[in-house]
């Protein structure tokens, strides 16, 4: 599985490149993980509702074909796009998402941070007041709305699968200006707090965070 470090790239051309890669790939095409950083951009999923953009700004908004609601990309965020042939890898979408989240949890563990899953709300969350604590979250009933009490979202996830092949991916907040998140309901949840590694006391260069996440994604997604 090849890791491709793209650096800082515009969002829309990167999306178009992922779509083209997926449309043209053959049975023998090697899987890749693209790792990058985007300039300030709001992106909306196929089911995103306009009311989740709370205020107008100069930040462009791009409608995409991934799942999920609105989110924000910007400098200081590591974005990783796993371009995986899921049929060849031998796992279904639910396991694919689990593996991505596991890579995020393992990455946070490198810095002594405990990542949490929240039932019904893909992505990874931390306790800003106790980021290294290991106590488990209270169980959530299957029918209950996600409970974000005491949590901040540090990584968002949204994927697309076409012809059994994935694109889009995951964004890990490292050291960024978080104020644009105040202009949206992150991932469609009003009042959801968004944090980054610097917020919870981890100071790390983007390049190091990118390398750690890429390596753990590569490990977690290998069949």
pLDDT of residue 50: 87
Alpha helices in 132-181 (DSSP H): none
pLDDT of residue 88: 96
Q: Closest Cα partner for 126 from 139, 143, 109, 142?
A: 109
Q: Closest Cα partner for 122 from 153, 79, 166?
A: 153
Pairing of strands 61-63, 165-173: unpaired
Is 45:16 a contact under the CB 8 Å cutoff?
no
Residue pLDDT, tens place only, 11-37 = 999 999 999 999 999 999 999 999 999
CATH placement of domain 2-221 = 3.30.930.10
Given a cut of 70, whether residue 67 has pLDDT beyond it is yes
Q: Burial code of 96-135, b = ≥16 C-beta within 10 A, e = fewer?
A: bbebbbbbbbbbbeebebbbbbbeebbbbbbbeeebeeee
Given a cut of 70, whether residue 96 has pLDDT beyond it is yes
The active-site residue out of 184, 187, 197, 221 is: 187
Whether 36 sits among the annotated catalytic residues: the reply is no
Q: Number of C-alpha atoms within 13 angstroms, CB side, residue 101?
A: 23
pLDDT of residue 143: 58
What are the phi and psi torsion angles at 182 (to 5°)? Answer: -70, -15
Is 171:155 a contact under the CB 8 Å cutoff?
yes
Q: What is the pTM of this model?
A: 0.95
List, as one string, the DSSP characters of 66-123. SSS--EEE-TTEEEEEEE-BHHHHT--HHHHHHHHHHHHHHHHHHTT---EEETTEEE
pLDDT of residue 101: 97
Distance CA 21, CA 4 (A): 13
Residue pLDDT, tens place only, 126-174 = 999 999 998 888 776 665 688 898 999 999 999 999 999 999 999 999 9
Q: Closest Cα partner for 161 from 36, 62, 73, 67?
A: 67
The domain spans of the chain are 2-221
Q: Name residues whose C-beta falls within 8 Å of residue 119's C-beta, 6 or more positions apart in sequence.
A: 140, 142, 146
Pairing of strands 32-37, 77-83: antiparallel
Residue pLDDT, tens place only, 180-199 = 999 999 988 988 999 999 99
Distance CA 41, CA 98 (A): 26
């Amino acid at each position: 599985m090849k890791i491709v470090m793209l650096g800082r790239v515009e969002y829309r051309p990167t999306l178009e490149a992922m779509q083209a890669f997926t449309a043209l790939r053959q049975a023998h095409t090697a899987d890749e993980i693209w790792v990058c950083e985007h300039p300030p951009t709001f992106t909306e999923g196929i089911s995103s509702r306009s009311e989740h953009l709370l205020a107008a700004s100069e930040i462009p908004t791009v409608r995409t074909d991934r799942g999920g609601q609105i989110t924000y990309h910007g400098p200081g965020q590591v974005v990783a796009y796993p371009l995986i042939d899921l049929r060849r890898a031998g796992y279904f979408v639910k396991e694919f998402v689990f593996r991505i989240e596991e890579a995020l949890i393992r990455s946070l563990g490198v810095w002594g941070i405990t990542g949490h899953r929240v039932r019904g709300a893909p992505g990874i969350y931390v306790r800003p007041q106790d980021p290294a604590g290991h106590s488990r979250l209270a169980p959530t009933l299957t029918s209950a709305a996600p409970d974000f009490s005491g949590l901040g979202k540090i990584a968002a996830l949204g994927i697309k699968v076409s012809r059994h092949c994935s694109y889009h991916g995951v964004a890990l907040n490292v050291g960024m200006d978080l104020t644009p998140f105040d202009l949206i309901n992150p991932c469609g949840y009003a009042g959801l707090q968004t944090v980054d590694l610097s917020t919870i006391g981890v100071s790390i260069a983007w390049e190091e965070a990118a390398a750690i996440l890429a390596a753990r994604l590569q490990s977690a997604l290998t069949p």
